[in-house]
Structure formats: C-alpha cells, structure tokens
Amino acid sequence: MALNGIEEFVGEYLKIIEGCDFIKYNEKFTVKTEDKHKQKGMSEIDVIGIRLSDKTIFACEVSAQMNGIFGTYPQKLDKKNPNNKFAKNQRYIEEYFKDFAPTTIRHMFWCPILKEKQKEKFTLPTKDFTVELIAEQDFLKKIEELKNFLSTQKCDYSSPITRFLQILAHLEKNNKNKDSN
C-alpha cells in the first residue's frame, strides 16, 4: 500500500499508462555498500513497477514535500554519494531481478515541487544509469496524460486517486460539451 497519494498516483500511472503488470510500494531492502556498516545498505524503493511484456522495471523515488527536497534528502540523491538512493536501487534490482537487462531498468524521480537550486544537487544521468526527473510541469503533464485516458473509461477503478481523476475528467469533458452547445 502506498504511504501517500503521490506514491499511489505514480503506481497507478505505471499500471494504467505504462502497462505495468505488478506494482509494489515501499519495498524495503538491504544491499552491500562500500561502507561495511549494515545500516548504510538499508533502503527502500517508493514504487516499483514491472512490465512483463518487455521485462521493464520502473524504480521510482517519490517526494511529496511542498517545499521540494530538503534536510538530508538531497544528500541521499546526490550522484557524488556512492550510496545514494538510485545506486542502492540499481544494486537491489541487479541482485533480485537478474533476468532483466540493465537497459530495461528505468529509474524515475517523481517530485511535484522542486526548486532550481535543488535540481543542481543531483545531476542526471549518473555514469552507470539515467534517472528520469518528473517535476513541476512534467509532473502536471503526467497527471493530464492519466486524466485524459481516464476520461475515455467507464470502469470502476479501485484506487481512490484514480477514481477521483476519472470522475474529474468526466466532469470536465461533460462541462466542455455543455459549453459548446
């Protein structure tokens, strides 16, 4: 279960738009790190999506902060830190999803609000893999993309986030039709 609405939205986006067969929230794991201290290897992937048709894994970090990322979070994402969250996620996937090619692993950082100075803290891509940043306008585009798809659907979605977006999309669509008449 997602811990917040943003994580749930990301999972629903991966399931509905990206066609993922499986979604897992808040996957806790431990990997080996350069630092022998076990806690340094402890981590969590906020949302994992698995699409079996082409063996793609979506490893998503999600920030739901109103002021962007702050505190120790930027250090956890900094590509100069060999134990950053994305590097740990990559090691976890390599260890537990050996049948998936490295080229089919998509790392994503979903952060609706991210200040320009915060973007500079972690430079994408890293030398080993790319992290797709979905922030601000790109985040809004993902919401619109899901909402546009849902406007064509009548089925009942179990996720409250998805159901809300579906109803909103239908209301907006019906409102546009009334305005044009």
Angle between helices 5-16 and 137-150 (to 10 degrees): 60
pLDDT at 53 over 90: yes
CATH number of the domain to which 137 belongs = 3.40.1350
Choice between 19 and 130, residue whose per-residue pLDDT is larger: 19
Give me the pLDDT at residue 121, please.
61
Q: What is the pLDDT of residues 74-107, one digit of tens each?
A: 566 666 666 678 888 888 898 889 888 878 899 9
Task: Return the HEC string of 33-60.
Answer: CCCCCHHHHEEEEEEEEEECCCCEEEEE
- For a pLDDT cut of 70, what percent of the chain falls above it? 77
Q: How far is CA 88 from CA 30, 42, 79, 93, 131, in A?
A: 8, 8, 11, 9, 13
d(CA 19, CA 116): 32
Give the range of the structural domain holding residue 41, as residue numbers without chain letter. 5-180
Cα 117 off chain centre by = 21
d(CA 147, CA 144): 5
CB 12 within 8 A of CB 146: yes
pLDDT at 39 over 60: no
Number of domains in the chain: 1
